[in-house]
Chains A and B, each alone.
Chain A
Amino acid sequence: MIAWLANPRTGGLLVLAAIIAVLPLALPNNFYFDVAVRAGLNAIVCVGLNLLIGYAGQISLGHAGFLGLGAYASAVLTAHYGWNPYAAMGVGAIAVGVLAFAVGRPILRLRGHYLAMATLGLGIIISIAANTEDDYTGGPDGMTVPPLTVFGTELYGERIWYWIVGALVVVSVWLALNLVASPVGRALRSVHGSEVAAEVSGVDTARYKVLVFVISAVFASVAGSLGAHYGGFITPVDVGFIKSIELVTMVVLGGMASTYGAVVGAAILTALPQVLTWLQDYEHLAFGLILMLVMIFMPRGLIPSLGSAFRHLFIDRPETQST
Chain B
Amino acid sequence: MTALAVEALSKEFGGVHAVADLSFAVTPGTIHSIIGPNGAGKTTLFNLITGLYRPTAGRIVLDGENVAGLAPYKLAAKGLSRTFQNLQIFFNMTALENVLVGMHLRLDRRLAPAVLRLAGARRREAQARDEAAELLRFVGLGDYVTADSASMPYGALKRLEIARALALRPRLLLLDEPAAGLNINETAEIDELIRKIGETGVTVVLVEHDMRLVMGISDHILVLDNGRKLGEGNAEQVRADPKVIAAYLGAAALGRNDAAKGG
Q: Counting CB contacts under 8 A, is A205 at the interface?
A: yes
The interface residues of chain B lying within 8 Å CB-to-CB of A194 are: 88-90
The interface residues of chain B lying within 8 Å CB-to-CB of A179 are: 111, 114-115
Pairwise interchain contact A186-B104, C-beta atoms closer than 8 A:
yes
Q: Measured between alpha carbons, how far is A307 from B22 in the docked complex, in Å? A: 53
Q: Name the residue on B nearest A175 (C-beta).
A: B115
Q: Counting CB contacts under 8 A, is A168 at the interface?
A: no
The interface residues of chain B lying within 8 Å CB-to-CB of A193 are: 89-93
Known A183-B109, A199-B71, A201-B76; 7 more pairs at CB < 8 Å: A182-B125, A187-B101, A197-B84, A197-B90, A200-B76, A201-B73, A202-B73
Pairwise interchain contact A201-B125, C-beta atoms closer than 8 A:
no
Pairwise interchain contact A190-B52, C-beta atoms closer than 8 A:
no
- Counting chain B residues whose Cβ lies within 8 A of the other chain, the interface size class is 35 or more
Q: Measured between alpha carbons, how far is A41 from B164 in the docked complex, in Å? A: 39
Q: Which residues of B contact A (CB under 8 A)?
A: 50-52, 71-73, 76-77, 81-82, 84, 88-93, 97, 100-105, 107-109, 111, 114-117, 121, 125, 128, 151, 153, 164, 167-168
The interface residues of chain B lying within 8 Å CB-to-CB of A197 are: 84, 88-90, 101, 164
For chain A, what secondary structure do more than half of its interface residues adopt (helix, strand, loop), or is it mixed? helix
The interface residues of chain B lying within 8 Å CB-to-CB of A196 are: 52, 72, 84, 88
Q: Measured between alpha carbons, how far is A185 from B102 in the docked complex, in Å? A: 13
A-B interface, 3 closest residue pairs, ranked by CB to CB distance from nearest: A193-B90, A182-B114, A202-B76
Q: Measured between alpha carbons, how far is A204 from B71 in the docked complex, in Å? A: 9
Min CB gap A263→B, angstroms: 18
19 A-B residue contacts at CB 8 Å?
Answer: A179-B115, A183-B104, A183-B125, A189-B93, A190-B90, A193-B89, A194-B88, A197-B164, A199-B51, A200-B50, A200-B73, A200-B88, A201-B101, A201-B168, A202-B76, A204-B71, A205-B73, A211-B111, A323-B153
The interface residues of chain B lying within 8 Å CB-to-CB of A175 are: 115-116
The interface residues of chain A lying within 8 Å CB-to-CB of B115 are: 175, 178-179, 182
Pairwise interchain contact A187-B104, C-beta atoms closer than 8 A:
yes
Pairwise interchain contact B93-A190, C-beta atoms closer than 8 A:
yes
Contacting residues of chain A (189-224) with chain B, CB-CB under 8 angstroms: 189-190, 192-194, 196-205, 211
Q: Name the residue on A nearest B91 (C-beta).
A: A193
Query: In the complex where A183-B109, A187-B109 touch, is A201 in contact with B114 (Cβ < 8 A)?
Result: no
Interface centre among A201, A257, A323 (most CB of B within 10 A): A201
Cβ-defined partner of A203 (8 Å) among B52, B73, B114, B128:
B73
Min CB gap A319→B, angstroms: 13
- Counting chain A residues whose Cβ lies within 8 A of the other chain, the interface size class is 20 to 34
Min CB gap B143→A, angstroms: 14
Pairwise interchain contact B107-A183, C-beta atoms closer than 8 A:
yes
Pairwise interchain contact B104-A178, C-beta atoms closer than 8 A:
no
Q: Measured between alpha carbons, how far is A186 from B102 in the docked complex, in Å? A: 10
Contacting residues of chain A (243-287) with chain B, CB-CB under 8 angstroms: 257
The interface residues of chain A lying within 8 Å CB-to-CB of B89 are: 193-194, 197
Q: Measured between alpha carbons, how far is A321 from B115 in the docked complex, in Å? A: 35
Query: In the complex where A179-B115, A184-B111, A201-B164 touch, is A189 in contact with B90 (Cβ < 8 A)?
Result: yes
Q: Name the residue on B nearest A190 (C-beta).
A: B101
Min CB gap B150→A, angstroms: 9
Pairwise interchain contact B97-A186, C-beta atoms closer than 8 A:
yes
Pairwise interchain contact A181-B125, C-beta atoms closer than 8 A:
yes
Min CB gap B91→A, angstroms: 6
Q: Measured between alpha carbons, how far is A209 from B84 in the docked complex, in Å? A: 23
The interface residues of chain A lying within 8 Å CB-to-CB of B125 are: 181-183
Q: Could you mark each residue 57-83 of chain A with 1 if its beta carbon is under 8 Å from any beta carbon of chain B, else 0?
A: 000000000000000000000000000
Pairwise interchain contact A184-B114, C-beta atoms closer than 8 A:
yes
Interface centre among A202, A204, A321 (most CB of B within 10 A): A202
Q: Measured between alpha carbons, how far is A84 from B116 in the docked complex, in Å? A: 27
Q: Measured between alpha carbons, how far is A129 from B101 in the docked complex, in Å? A: 42
Q: Measured between alpha carbons, how far is A198 from B93 in the docked complex, in Å? A: 12
Cβ-defined partner of B81 (8 Å) among A200, A205, A323:
A200
Min CB gap A186→B, angstroms: 5
Q: Measured between alpha carbons, how far is A184 from B116 in the docked complex, in Å? A: 13
The interface residues of chain B lying within 8 Å CB-to-CB of A198 are: 90, 101
Q: Measured between alpha carbons, how far is A211 from B110 in the docked complex, in Å? A: 12
Q: Measured between alpha carbons, how far is A196 from B50 in the docked complex, in Å? A: 10
The interface residues of chain A lying within 8 Å CB-to-CB of B103 are: 183
Cβ-defined partner of B121 (8 Å) among A182, A190, A202:
A182
Q: Measured between alpha carbons, how far is A183 from B105 in the docked complex, in Å? A: 9
The interface residues of chain A lying within 8 Å CB-to-CB of B167 are: 201
The interface residues of chain A lying within 8 Å CB-to-CB of B77 are: 202
Q: Measured between alpha carbons, how far is A192 from B93 in the docked complex, in Å? A: 10
Min CB gap B167→A, angstroms: 8
Query: In the complex where A193-B92, A197-B89 touch, is A183 in contact with B100 (Cβ < 8 A)?
Result: yes
Min CB gap A111→B, angstroms: 12
The interface residues of chain A lying within 8 Å CB-to-CB of B116 are: 175, 178
The interface residues of chain A lying within 8 Å CB-to-CB of B73 are: 199-205
Interface centre among A181, A194, A257 (most CB of B within 10 A): A194
Pairwise interchain contact A183-B168, C-beta atoms closer than 8 A:
no
Min CB gap B62→A, angstroms: 15
The interface residues of chain A lying within 8 Å CB-to-CB of B105 are: 201-202
